[in-house]
Structure 1
Amino acid sequence: MLNKLIERYCQFLNVTIAAAMAVMVVLVFGNVVMRYGFNSGIAISEEISRWLFVWITFLGAIVAIKENAHLGTDMLVSRLPVLGKKVCLVLGHLLMLFITWLFFDGSLQQAKINWDVEAPVSGLSVAIFYASGVFFSVCAALLLLLQMVRALSGQLSEAELVMVKESEEQAELEALQAELARENAHSHSPLGDKPLPHAGK
């Protein structure tokens, strides 16, 4: 039940990100057309687009945490036994929770300081800009805590304990190395490139 709820929540975030990107495209492209075509512009375009970009970044980071899409290297962790992988996962999540707390505290303080400060063009509270960090920190902390509880309670498989993804370049390099290893093994095969004997003439 909880997993389905989180899945739907992340789907909602994805829809929100798509909608925000669409608004950004309309504002920026419309502003360019009006400036070059009609010698005017949308005054609020740059400010709102900048805020939307920041919110999109943090909303995408929440979804990335849920999908374990953050990049890393599993060169060491993947070779550890199950207990070692659990220890590394818990330590890593504790560090991420600490950093998330620092980020939450800083963002909250900035939101409070700028609560009564109005943006120069839109007149909206600048606290909206810093609220993105508060929102991200709360959601990220909940997801990290859930992942850590699942790991400690044995609900994660051994493969799921390695919560990083190699970069595309690293994955391509490993695939190339595997292909070269197969070709090398084939060239040193007893049969090699010798033709197979015919059954008869």
Structure 2
Amino acid sequence: MKKISKLLDGMLTYAMSVALALMAILVFGNVVLRYAFNSGITWSEEMSRFLFIWMTFLGAIGALKDNDHLGVDLLVKRLSTGAKKVVFTLSNLLMFYALWLVLDGSIKMTILNVNSKAPATGMSLSFISGTGIVMSAAMAIILVYQLYQALFVKGAIDRLTKSKESEEEILAEADYSNQQKAMGGGR
């Protein structure tokens, strides 16, 4: 299971890296062509926009997988393990509902846009609305896995409900700890 997860994570990172690199090349190349040669690539801006949309949605998948989305654990960290499981389950059910709405809307938009073409590239606009299908399906799989871990793997609920701290908080905590040691408080 870890090999599959690592492979999928690598593919996700690679896809986002390629999208970012292509966007940079297309935009920079278009700028150079416009200023130096008074011409440009007609479809460059449109393709960059499409790549940006895909990169954003793929990044959202990666952030959910790594538990990097913004979160406030002020209440959750004070709850007992059982209460954390209940709150985590309820929040995941709400996320499943939101993902269902995104999936349903994306499927409808993809079907509607199959025959619609983008003006500059001529690509089907279903390429854009398909991002919601990929994102919602991938996120649903991640949520199912995290929900399974939270309910059946001992100690996983604490890892899954802990929000990432800001760099400032981590540095301030380390600074305070160092001051305590220097004053003789950390024997």
TM-score normalised according to structure 1 size: 0.83
Aligned to 2:65: 66
Contact 2:151 2:157 in 1 (8 A): no
Residue type of the alignment partner of 2:85: K
Residue type of the alignment partner of 1:132: T
Q: CA deviation at 1:136?
A: 0.3
Q: CA deviation at 1:158?
A: 4.6
Report the CA distance shift for 1:11/1:178 in structure 2 as closer, same or farther (over 3 A): closer
Aligned to 1:131: 130
Aligned to 2:119: 120
Aligned to 2:97: 98
Q: How does 1:162-177 map to 2 (within 5 A)?
A: 162-168=161-167, 172-173=168-169, 176=172
Residue type of the alignment partner of 1:88: V
Q: CA deviation at 1:162?
A: 1.2
Aligned to 1:56: 55
Contact 1:34 1:40 in 2 (8 A): yes
Q: Give the structure with higher Rg (CA).
A: 1
Q: CA deviation at 1:32?
A: 0.1
Aligned to 2:83: 84
Residue type of the alignment partner of 1:120: P
Q: Aligned-residue CA RMSD in angstroms?
A: 2.2
Aligned to 2:23: 24
In structure 1, what is the Cα distance between the partners aligned to 2:59 and 2:122? 27
Question: What's the CA shift string for 1:84-132, capped at 9, x where partnerless?
Answer: 1111111111111110111111111111111100110111100001101
Q: Secondary structure at the match of 1:46?
A: helix
TM-score normalised according to structure 2 size: 0.88
In structure 1, what is the Cα distance between the partners aligned to 2:160 and 2:84? 6
Residue type of the alignment partner of 1:113: L
In structure 2, what is the Cα distance between the partners aligned to 1:104 and 1:65? 17
Report the CA distance shift for 1:124/1:178 in structure 2 as closer, same or farther (over 3 A): closer
Q: CA deviation at 1:182?
A: 8.8
Report the CA distance shift for 1:175/1:25 in structure 2 as closer, same or farther (over 3 A): closer
In structure 2, what is the Cα distance between the partners aligned to 1:148 and 1:163? 14
In structure 1, what is the Cα distance between the partners aligned to 2:25 and 2:176? 49
Contact 2:149 2:157 in 1 (8 A): no
In structure 1, what is the Cα distance between the partners aligned to 2:14 and 2:173? 39
Residue type of the alignment partner of 2:144: L
In structure 1, what is the Cα distance between the partners aligned to 2:159 and 2:114? 41
In structure 1, what is the Cα distance between the partners aligned to 2:134 and 2:52? 15
Give the gaps of 5 or more residues in structure 1. Answer: 190-201
Give the gaps of 5 or more residues in structure 2. Answer: none
- Aligned residue pairs total 184
